[in-house]
């Protein structure tokens, strides 16, 4: 029933337990993406009376409290198109379109549209920095688990524009992160991040890079490709060491098939005077909502099994 530029608005409570219904996730299953999240004020609708709608008190109002209008639109066509493309799509076409403008506007104003108070009580005091986000689904999962993510910084090498055009879940994930007070930064190169004034001068308890991958270099010989991937890991670790707090740890997730085992992550730990605390089998299901993305355009997920988390500390 929705016209191509049409919107679906759902007015919904934003307090527990309603905010955990996952309205945006359900919408995604119906090819709808969240493009707005506004305060809902009943006084904006003169004459409207909210009713319980069922039971013996069906004609009585229910307490509204903190409510939001969730605004959804059909998934941008570019995202659907790119999803069907092969993972070798290095430079996806970027089509400026209205929904992108709208999405960018929403992200710019997201911080004022979200509640503070309900998350504060759940704040865990851990400073977390995660780099190299595909569609930011991993950071979003962490932020939801922490409740409040004001101690977390999530960065991507990609620009915000690139993410919105390439990953259908980027917008709802970024909105969720902002709502939970996570600092999100784009165009951040993890190999030179210490030169950046914000994350570069901070100390973190956990620094995470999931499935680092320097890119698809199909024209290069295998050894040259390996050198690029290893270079990314090594330079990331070199930077991360400087950003570790006293009891900080660096966590890198990597596949353990032959090609990736050849990266020898242990050696990089040794190079940067870190000890390998442990390696733990990685199970994506431990991180609800996390989608492992190829990166570099397209919206495809890669098979992350088998893989391990390598934990390094001083």
- In whole angstroms, the minimum distance from the beta carbon of 108 to ligand SAM comes to 22
- In whole angstroms, the minimum distance from the beta carbon of 82 to ligand SAM comes to 14
Nearer to ligand SAM, 111 or 187 (CB): 187
**Angle at the Cα of 20 (from 14 to 26), degrees rounded to 5?**
105
Nearer to ligand SAM, 37 or 232 (CB): 232
Nearer to ligand SAM, 36 or 132 (CB): 132
Of residues 197, 189, 198, 200, the one with CA closest to residue 157: 189
Q: CA 311 → CA 56, 61, 307, distances in Å?
A: 57, 53, 13
Report yes or no: 133 and 198 within 8 Å, Cβ to Cβ: no
- In whole angstroms, the minimum distance from the beta carbon of 296 to ligand SAM comes to 6
Q: Which residues bind ligand SAM (CB under 6 A)?
A: 131-134, 138, 157-158, 189-191, 210-214, 232, 292-295
- In whole angstroms, the minimum distance from the beta carbon of 156 to ligand SAM comes to 6
Report yes or no: 146 and 124 within 8 Å, Cβ to Cβ: yes
Q: Shortest Cβ contact with ligand SAM: which residue?
A: 295
* Rounded Cα gap, residues 122 and 145, in angstroms: 9
**Cis before 302 (ω within 30):** no
Nearer to ligand SAM, 78 or 239 (CB): 239
**Exposure string over 85-118, b if 16+ CB within 10 A, otherwise e:** eebebeebeeeeeebbebbeebbeebeebbeeeb
The token duo for 89 is 């799509």
The token duo for 164 is 């919105």
Nearer to ligand SAM, 71 or 241 (CB): 241
Instruction: Give all strands (DSSP E) within the chain, no chain letters.
Output: 7-13, 32-39, 67-74, 128-131, 152-155, 183-185, 204-210, 244-255, 275-281, 307-313
Give a three-class secondary structure readout of 193-242: HHHCHHHHCCCEEEEEEECCCCCCCCCCCHHHHHHHHHHHHHHHHHHHHH
Nearer to ligand SAM, 98 or 198 (CB): 198
- In whole angstroms, the minimum distance from the beta carbon of 136 to ligand SAM comes to 9
Nearer to ligand SAM, 269 or 297 (CB): 297
* Rounded Cα gap, residues 213 and 102, in angstroms: 31
- In whole angstroms, the minimum distance from the beta carbon of 105 to ligand SAM comes to 24
* Rounded Cα gap, residues 287 and 292, in angstroms: 11
Nearer to ligand SAM, 173 or 191 (CB): 191
Length of the chain as a residue count: 314
- In whole angstroms, the minimum distance from the beta carbon of 152 to ligand SAM comes to 15
- In whole angstroms, the minimum distance from the beta carbon of 254 to ligand SAM comes to 10
- In whole angstroms, the minimum distance from the beta carbon of 111 to ligand SAM comes to 24
Nearer to ligand SAM, 68 or 206 (CB): 206
């Amino acid at each position: 029933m929705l016209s191509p530029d049409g919107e679906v608005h759902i007015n919904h409570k934003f307090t527990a337990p309603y905010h955990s219904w996952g309205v945006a996730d359900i919408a995604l299953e119906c090819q709808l993406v969240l493009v707005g999240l506004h305060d809902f004020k009943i006084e904006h609708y003169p004459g409207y009376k909210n009713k319980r709608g069922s039971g013996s008190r069906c004609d009585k109002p229910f307490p509204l409290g903190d409510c939001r209008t969730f605004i959804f639109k059909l998934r941008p066509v570019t995202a659907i198109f790119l999803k069907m493309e092969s993972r070798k799509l290095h430079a996806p076409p970027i089509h400026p379109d209205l929904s992108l403008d709208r999405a960018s506007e929403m992200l710019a104003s997201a911080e004022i549209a979200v509640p503070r108070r309900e998350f504060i009580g759940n704040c865990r005091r851990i400073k977390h920095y995660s780099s190299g986000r595909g569609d930011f689904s991993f950071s979003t999962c962490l932020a939801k688990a922490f409740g409040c993510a004001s101690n977390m910084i999530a960065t991507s090498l990609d620009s915000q524009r690139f993410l919105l055009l390439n990953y259908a879940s980027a917008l709802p994930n970024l909105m969720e992160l902002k709502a939970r007070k996570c600092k999100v930064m784009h165009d951040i190169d993890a190999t030179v991040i210490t030169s950046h004034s914000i994350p570069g001068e901070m100390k973190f308890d956990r620094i995470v890079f999931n499935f680092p991958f320097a890119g698809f270099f199909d024209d290069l010989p295998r050894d040259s490709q390996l050198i690029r991937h290893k270079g990314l890991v090594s330079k990331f670790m070199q930077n991360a060491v400087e950003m570790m707090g006293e009891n900080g740890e660096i966590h890198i997730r990597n596949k353990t098939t032959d090609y990736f085992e050849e990266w020898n992550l242990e050696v990089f730990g040794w190079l940067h005077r870190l000890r390998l605390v442990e390696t733990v089998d990685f199970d994506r299901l431990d991180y609800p909502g996390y989608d492992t993305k190829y990166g570099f355009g397209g919206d495809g997920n890669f098979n992350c099994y088998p893989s391990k988390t390598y934990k390094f500390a001083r």
